[in-house]
């Protein structure tokens, strides 16, 4: 792949670097070689030019590989030439050091903060809502409960700065230098790094709703079996009009984290005793708004069913608390859609919308013995505080050859009372193929922002080459025949647009296009009335 495909076929002329420890892992982890010299020779011959994060196998072991005849000097010369060429392009020989005076540090500018808040807001997915959201302006008592409600740290993902500080502290305390590089064991690391610029959901809610009494109770920790905070949480809910429960995970790389790199789980339930806490609070009769801070689909069907509303916030980052409260109080309108199929149990995994006919159990017994085969929420699902109408759509031409484009268009209208975003999704199905195909594939989407009463035309221009697949010899081909297009707001909420017939006698070898056009054009009031 690194030589025949990447360099020879695709024409890449840069350098290829190894991921952390990948070269020595050929020996120590994968056991495809039995020494570091063999690992060095194997990796370099495959096309790895630079070893990261530090020089281990590409040092003395590489010299030994040459001496043992495991590697031809010419193969080493090719890698060296590529590295030198990159350095020449960067001008490192003429100017080996950066100009420190010119390296102006710009961190957390107003533009960056605004972009962070916008990204956090756009990523929120409203999974369920019986009308409790947005929170009514006349509420006077709100219970705020959960281990993530007053935590700035838990809004951040596993590759944020603070999580790496935690990892370094763990390394220094253990004495095991897993980074394979020099570490100053005398370094003074602030374990309580300033997180004021991140903020918390609790702080944001109190500041934004000063007229409301916020009854705060943590209830429990992210992990562990301590239920001593349950009574306070139940009391807070009992005294309130609504209970906002900010639950979920702690993302990071250390042993006390529940999501992140190498932090796999066997259950999709909320960690620790959080599930018990949610059900106990819901049993008070106070409506529960469940806000999930997590790096994965999470929560049992029982917990989701117990909530009046569920807002999936993922790991929203530095501006996450502001974005969450914006959505709760209705200053913004959630418009995100699920980029994954949300399972109801780990026993369904892997579950995805684009399965083969034989992978969804829909044409055999229809379900598992003990649970539905349907997901908790389908791919592309996401609610809004307003309503949208997506038209039936039109498609042309209905007969086409490769080298041409299929145009699919539809109108989307905000028929509700609030401004909001809809994500129009285009799917394609190949009903008959010599290779079994998925029951459907997302082939285009457009996020459209509309005020109440506004409408827009959404036009997808799909190259015929985008309708292909890997054939029996793994080459990319488009097979002649019919393709069915559908359009809607999610995989389970879509309607057929029509079929297109690709003309030809034999499969056509081609390249898969990397992009295709989507055009969103506002509809004028006069056109809208028509």
- Per-residue confidence (pLDDT) for residue 106, from 0 to 100: 77
Smallest Cα–Cα separation from 380: which of 117, 70, 127?
Answer: 127
Q: Average of pLDDT values for 406-429?
A: 97
- Give the pLDDT confidence score for residue 280 in this predicted structure: 98
Q: What is the pTM of this model?
A: 0.91
Average pLDDT estimate for 206-234? 97
Which tokens hold the place of 257? 């984290």
Tens digit of pLDDT for each residue in 297-340? 999 999 999 999 999 999 999 999 999 999 999 999 999 999 99
- The residues with which 377 forms a beta bridge, in sequence order, are 342
Q: Using the predicted structure, report yes or no on whether residue 294 has a pLDDT greater than 50.
A: yes
Lowest mean pLDDT among 119-128, 267-276, 443-452, 521-530: 521-530
DSSP-derived letter for residue 485 is E
Query: Residue 439: CB partners within 8 Å, gap ≥ 6?
Result: 353, 354, 355, 356, 357, 360, 429
Task: For residues 506-519, give the mean pLDDT.
Answer: 87
Q: CA-to-CA distance for 58 and 412, rounded, in angstroms?
A: 57
Are the beta carbons of 76 and 51 closer than 8 angstroms? no
CA distances from 498 to 307, 409, 425 (A): 39, 11, 15
- The kind and range of the H/E element at 121 are helix 110-123
Residue 182 region, left (φ>0) first, then alpha (ψ -120 to 50), else beta? beta
89-98, 252-261, 268-277 — most confident range: 268-277
Provide the pLDDT for residue 363: 46
For 127-171, write each residue's pLDDT tens digit.
999 999 999 999 999 999 999 999 999 999 999 988 888 888 887
**Residue 417, token pair as written in the block:** 């009372």
Q: Where are the beta strands (DSSP E) in 192-307?
A: 213-217, 242-248, 288-293
pLDDT, position 512: 87
Q: Give percent of the chain with pLDDT exceeding 70.
A: 94
Measuring CA to CA, how many Å separate 45 from each of 1, 7, 49, 197, 428?
12, 13, 9, 48, 41
Mean pLDDT of all residues belonging to the chain:
92
> How far is Cα 254 from Cα 223, in angstroms, rounded to an integer?
14
Closest among 407, 406, 404, 408 to 424, alpha carbons compared: 408
Query: Under a CB-based contact definition with an 8 Å cutoff, are residues 511 and 402 in contact?
Result: no
529: pLDDT strictly greater than 60: no
Nearest-angstrom CA–CA distance, 503 and 512? 18
Which pLDDT tens digit goes with each residue over 428-470?
Answer: 999 999 999 999 999 999 999 999 999 999 999 999 999 999 9
Task: Tell me the C-alpha to C-alpha distance, in Å, between residue 450 and each of 224, 425, 447, 489.
Answer: 45, 16, 10, 15
Give SS3 for 221. Answer: coil
In angstroms, rounded to a whole number, what is the distance separating the alpha carbons of residues 221 and 247? Answer: 9
Least confident residue range of 105-109, 425-429, 470-474: 105-109
């Amino acid at each position: 792949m690194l030589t025949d495909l990447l360099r020879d076929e695709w024409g890449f002329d840069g350098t290829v670097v190894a991921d952390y420890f990948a070269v020595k892992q050929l020996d120590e982890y994968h056991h495809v070689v039995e020494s570091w010299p063999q690992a060095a020779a194997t990796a370099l011959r495959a096309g790895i030019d630079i070893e990261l994060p530090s020089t281990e196998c590409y040092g003395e072991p590489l010299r030994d590989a040459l001496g043992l005849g495991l590697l031809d000097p010419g193969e080493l010369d090719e890698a060296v030439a590529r590295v030198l060429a990159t350095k020449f392009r960067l001008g490192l020989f003429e100017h080996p050091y950066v100009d420190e005076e010119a390296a102006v540090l710009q961190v957390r500018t107003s533009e960056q903060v605004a972009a962070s808040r916008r990204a956090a807001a756009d990523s929120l997915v409203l999974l369920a809502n019986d009308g409790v959201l947005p929170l009514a302006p006349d509420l006077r008592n709100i219970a705020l409960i959960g281990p993530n409600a007053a935590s700035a740290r838990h809004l951040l993902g596993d590759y944020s700065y603070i999580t790496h500080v935690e990892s370094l502290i763990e390394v220094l305390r253990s004495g095991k230098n897993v980074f394979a590089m020099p570490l100053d064991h005398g370094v003074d690391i602030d374990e309580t790094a300033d997180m004021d610029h991140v903020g918390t959901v609790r702080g944001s809610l109190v500041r934004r709703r000063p007229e409301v009494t916020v009854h705060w109770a943590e209830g429990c920790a992210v992990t562990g079996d301590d239920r001593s905070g349950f009574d306070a949480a139940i009391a807070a809910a009992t005294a309130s009009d609504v209970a906002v429960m900010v639950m979920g995970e702690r993302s990071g790389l250390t042993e006390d984290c529940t999501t992140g790199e190498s932090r796999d789980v066997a259950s999709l339930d909320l960690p620790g005793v959080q599930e018990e806490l949610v059900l106990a609070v819901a049993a008070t009769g106070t409506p529960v708004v469940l806000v999930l801070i997590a790096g994965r689909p999470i929560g049992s069907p029982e917990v989701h069913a117990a909530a009046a509303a569920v807002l999936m916030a993922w790991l929203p980052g530095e501006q996450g608390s502001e974005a969450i409260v914006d959505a709760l109080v209705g200053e913004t309108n959630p418009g995100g859609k699920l980029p994954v199929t949300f399972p109801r149990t780990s026993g369904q995994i892997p579950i995805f919308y684009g399965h083969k006919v034989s992978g969804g159990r829909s044409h055999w017994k229809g379900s598992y013995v003990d649970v539905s085969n349907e997901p908790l929420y389908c791919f592309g699902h996401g609610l809004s505080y307003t309503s949208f109408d997506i038209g039936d759509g039109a498609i042309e031409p209905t007969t086409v050859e490769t080298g041409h484009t299929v145009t699919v268009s539809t109108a989307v209208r905000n028929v509700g009372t609030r401004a909001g975003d809809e994500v129009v999704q285009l799917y394609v199905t190949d009903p008959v193929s010599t290779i079994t195909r998925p029951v459907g594939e997302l082939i285009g989407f457009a996020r459209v922002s509309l005020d109440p009463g506004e409408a827009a035309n959404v036009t997808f221009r799909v190259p015929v080459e985008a309708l292909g697949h890997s054939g029996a010899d793994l080459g990319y081909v488009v097979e002649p025949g019919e393709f069915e297009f559908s359009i809607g707001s999610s995989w389970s909420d879509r309607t057929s647009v029509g079929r297109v017939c690709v003309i030809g006698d034999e499969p056509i070898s081609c390249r898969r296009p990397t992009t295709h056009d989507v055009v969103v054009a506002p509809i004028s009031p006069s056109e809208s009335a028509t």
